[in-house]
Structure 1
Amino acid sequence: MARALWFFPVPDEADLPERLRGLFAKARETVGLVPNVFRAYAYRPERLSAWFAHYKMLHEPTENLDRADREMIAVVVSAYNRCTYCIVSHGHALRKALGGRREDQVLADYIATNWRHAGLDPRRYAICDYAEKLTARPHEMTDDDLQRLADVGLSPHEVWDVAEIAAMYNFTNRMALATGQLPNEEYHYLDR
């Protein structure tokens, strides 16, 4: 089974700043657990605050880029990077954002495994294609890649969001992999 949590010592929750204790409490209330990424980042509490504020901004739904689309980007990037933590945790979030029905669970699993086999509509296909290209071949990005997102109905702000979400998850995946973060076991069972 999975190895014990990580190289860096995890601070006692009581020793964290009040705002982070509040974040942990809110996570317990809404998700039913404190995500291990919070515990890992608590090693550097000031950075957890900055990272989480950025995360929250990027996951605010807009007219043409909903919560499921944003989680889908996280899953596609994480799958390409083979980041177990983010595939599992954002796979759960994607299942939930898609609606939680059986077919939504199947779709989320297809997206996490190989999004090209998921039967996505042209808008979601373009979003996944962009996210994967930015992850795999960032040096090949051109204005045409951005234009393809606009062509499927995303506003300039939403095109920016797709790029920023993909870039943020590349960073987050690398930190999770670099610091040995593992997903909470509960994520494997939630909403299934």
Structure 2
Amino acid sequence: MLCRGVMRAVRPSAVGLLSSLTLKESRVCHRTPVSVCHYSSSEEEKISRYPVPYKKNLPYDIVELMEEVEMKGGFLPNVFKVLAHRPAEFRAFFAYYNLLMNKETGGLSKADRELIVVATSAHNNCLYCVVSHSALHRIYSKKPTLADQVAVNYKVAELTARERAMLDFALTVCRSDTVTDEHFSSLEAHGFDREDIWDIAAIAAFFALSNRMAHLTDMRPNTEFYNMGRVPRDKRPPGTENDRPE
């Protein structure tokens, strides 16, 4: 079962995607969480070419996680629904995701981490990850256009020298180019230490897996992702103040 105290302690904005969590239980959920609907691979919701299981047939810990994410973010990202096709792999995927993307140590900010995902996912032509992680970058960075620039061509994006060095190295790993001591020297000159360099490489490597699974399943982004973080809350038209999920 999820550790709710830990989940509550993590900032719930940016759809929450994942917070610190523990997935242990293997019981099937025999109740319907009040805030979540059942999902299946119906004609109305083509988010995967594989069957999307009904929540009532999923292990209880996975249902609990989905409920937490939807409650905090306002919607359930499709990656949760699609990967639930294989619960054991779902747990492994999100455990590693959490360790890479939500850690509070090291020199990479959450915006840095999301920018790495956008750049490498664009290279891998992954629609789902580019759209969803661009949304998260906009929210964490408060920059509504930078992720779009990076998704098209990071080499001409309005990046700092530090961000450019970070993405140059992330793409080196993404392309499986040879990593040399010169890469380390360049990154260290921009303030990254060796643990940060590991993080950059691990994020690029992990999302190479994620991108390819998205291709396999034909995973489709939630429509909510497209507008997230584009318009500051105080500049929204009247009546739309509550549009951004919290």
2:139 corresponds to which of 86, 96, 107:
96
Q: Which moved more, 1:120-129 or 1:69-78?
A: 120-129
RMSD, matched Cα = 1.7
Structure possessing the higher relative contact order (Cα contacts under 8 Å, 6 or more residues apart): 1
Shift of 1:63: 4.5
Structure having the higher helix fraction is: 1
Q: Distance in 2 between matches of 1:75 and 1:61?
A: 20
1:65-76 correspondence to structure 2 within 5 Å: 65-76=108-119
Is residue 2:156 matched to residue 1:117? yes
Gapped regions of structure 1 (runs ≥ 5): none
Q: Deviations over 1:142-188 (max 9, x none)?
A: 22223322221112111100010010011110110111111111111
User: Residue 5 of structure 1 contacts residue 182 of structure 1 at CA under 8 Å; is this kept in 2?
Assistant: yes
User: Residue 106 of structure 2 contacts residue 195 of structure 2 at CA under 8 Å; is this kept in 1?
Assistant: no
Aligned to 1:128: 167
Aligned to 1:31: 73
SS in 2 for 1:4: coil
- Between Structure 1 and Structure 2, how many residues are aligned? 186
Q: Distance in 2 between matches of 1:14 and 1:143?
A: 51
User: Residue 139 of structure 2 contacts residue 228 of structure 2 at CA under 8 Å; is this kept in 1?
Assistant: no
Aligned to 1:150: 188
Q: Deviations over 1:2-29 (max 9, x none)?
A: x822221111112211111111112112
Counterpart amino acid of 2:194? P
1:77 corresponds to which of 120, 134, 152:
120
Q: Normalized against structure 2, the TM-score is what?
A: 0.72
Aligned to 2:11: none
Q: Normalized against structure 1, the TM-score is what?
A: 0.91
Q: Distance in 2 between matches of 1:161 and 1:187?
A: 25
